[in-house]
Amino acid sequence: MKLIEGKSIAETVYGECLESFEELKAAGFLPGLAVVLVGEDPASRAYVGSKEKKCQELGMHSVKIELPAETKQEDLHQVILDLNADETIHGILVQLPLPNHLDEDAVILRIDPAKDVDGLHPVNLGKLAMDDPTGFAPCTPSGCQRMLVESGIETSGANVVIVGRSLLVGKSLALLMMGKGEGGNATVTIAHSRTKDLKAVTREADILVAAIGIPHFIGPDHVKEGAVVVDVGINRIADPTAPRGSRLVGDVDFDAVKDKCEAITPVPGGVGRMTIAMLMANTIRACRLKEGL
């Protein structure tokens, strides 16, 4: 069994980012990312902190806008419109989920598609569906695809089963993997909460992706001998033996499944590492596209 580690592959992406960043700087341009955080959700706060830290490490211009949980829809729209007009900002990310009273789709629609580095604006999702490389693909799915490519796993003609149909992960990854680019050309099946006989479906997978949000949901009965397993899940479970009383686990029961796999991603240290790397890559590309480089 080969362990597909996110850290080293993310480092490769950061290396490319740095190279591109230096070129931009030499040409007089500084890529800038704005992250908008509404409310106090601790997980969202931690994600935003990591994104800010990575921007600083790369030397990128970074702006964090923190708004109270009771922020009104119109006020959030105005923040987005101001960032759209800000020449120093090339990428805008609104940390999801937003508090319940806010309409996420309406907010995403306000983001200039050329600055939508999270890839969730309908223009970018349309470009993804059209195999148009000028768009931005969502970061977690493109991170999964990059992991497979960097690990030398053949996707062309492979049977890929993705469990989970969210736009953020499952549906977008399906579009990427059935696309014609590198890491694509797969035969993709999406399974979800209404799928009948899920185990029979997932056992057909050469590459099985779990994006469900249920700890240890995928067990050995779901996995074909010799399959590649990509675990997108990040779930916090109670663990009295852990220093914080809890720990992170994936959607795959790693210990029970690993010996059946040709390759598998761990949690933590797998897909999660890639998401921020792809965000940085998208932001630098947004800057290049804007400046015509």
Judged on CB neighbours under 10 Å (0-12, 13-18, 19+), 234 is buried
Task: Pick the catalytic residue from 54, 116, 118, 171.
Answer: 118
Using CB under 6 A, pick the residue from 79, 80, 117, 234 that binds ligand NAD: 234
Residue 118 annotated as catalytic: yes
Looking at the chain, which runs of residues are DSSP E strands?
Answer: 2-3, 32-38, 61-67, 91-94, 159-163, 187-191, 207-210, 227-231, 235-238, 246-249, 261-264
Straight-line distance from the first to the last Cα atom of the chain, in angstroms, rounded to the nearest whole number: 42
Please list, in sequence order, all residues whose beta carbon lies within 8 angstroms of the beta carbon of residue 168, skipping any fewer than 6 positions away.
Answer: 96, 120, 138, 140
What does the alpha-carbon distance between residue 188 and residue 175 come to, in Å, rounded to a whole number? 9
Span near ligand NAD by CB under 6 A; candidates 9-17, 57-65, 116-124, 211-219 = 211-219
Residues 250 and 67: their CA atoms lie apart, in Å, by 30
What token pair was written down for 179? 């696309």
**What distance in Å separates the CA atoms of residue 6 and residue 129, rounded to the nearest whole number?**
26
Q: Which residue among 95, 115, 127, 171 is the active-site one?
A: 95
Binding segment for ligand NAD (CB under 6 A), chosen from 12-20, 192-200, 258-266, 282-290, is 192-200
Is 235 a binding residue for ligand NAD by CB under 6 A? The answer is yes
Nearer to ligand NAD, 151 or 195 (CB): 195
What is the closest distance, in whole angstroms, from the C-beta atom of residue 82 to ligand NAD in the complex? 27
Q: Which residues between 48 and 107 bind ligand NAD (CB under 6 A)?
A: none
From 124, 202, 275, 283, residue interacting with ligand NAD (rule: CB under 6 A): 275
Considering the complex, state which of residue 90 and residue 171 has its C-beta at the smaller distance from ligand NAD: 171
Q: Minimal CA–CA distance to 213: which of 248, 171, 173, 259?
A: 248
Quick one: 176 or 271, whose CB is closer to ligand NAD? 271
Decide if residue 138 touches ligand NAD (CB under 6 A): no
Interface with ligand NAD, residue 164, by CB under 6 A:
yes
Binding ligand NAD (rule: CB under 6 A), the pick from 169, 177, 209, 263 is: 169
Q: Which CB sits closer to ligand NAD, 113 or 138?
A: 138
- Give 243's DSSP letter: T
Q: Which of the residues 242 through 261 are near ligand NAD (CB under 6 A)?
A: 251
**CA gap 281, 58 in Å, rounded:** 11
Task: Look up 95 and say whether it is catalytic.
Answer: yes
Least distance CB 239 / ligand NAD (angstroms):
17
Q: Between residues 88 and 193, which has the closer beta carbon with respect to ligand NAD?
A: 193
Residues classed as catalytic: 51, 95, 118
